[in-house]
Structure 1
């Protein structure tokens, strides 16, 4: 599966639009691998290929005044850095999904 680009991400007037489809239509989400203050990483498996990945679910900040969650700008920065860096010691980003509450990064396991 190619790294993020085409369907996973497109640019619209300097604002990144992530795949709005339900991540669970494409991946079976499994056990938790780890968590932090604003994200949870779970094992996942692509429904068509059977390839295993890590799904990092990042909580989005609901309002500018809120302290909970991560700003859209910070999430986009992380996605762009992961997309641009191709190195054996840096995890590969495969796809990005978004819903109202979170952004889900599909990463190599």
Structure 2
């Protein structure tokens, strides 16, 4: 019987932990865009770091109530809990000096 066959072995515990983390983080990867709910307000941002159940997101600024989003002059990177992420979305489409969500993502943004 090898060390991996023992249920209480340290090796088995560590061998299984990464696969569990990978399953948790499957849809949340660095570079993906998301809609995050913070203080009952929605923000569009890009994932910059993953740390267990906390995800660092660099948020964009929405101009008015329109489908116009810009990156702030200084990055707005904050850690959010996984439960605060409302949805994964497509990368916003460039529109002059700003960006806009796809029609589907804009409808989703307004429906959350």
Question: What's the TM-score once normalised by structure 1's chain length?
Answer: 0.25
Higher RCO, 1 or 2 (CA under 8 Å, sep at least 6)?
1
TM-score by length of 2: 0.25
The structure richer in helix per residue is 2
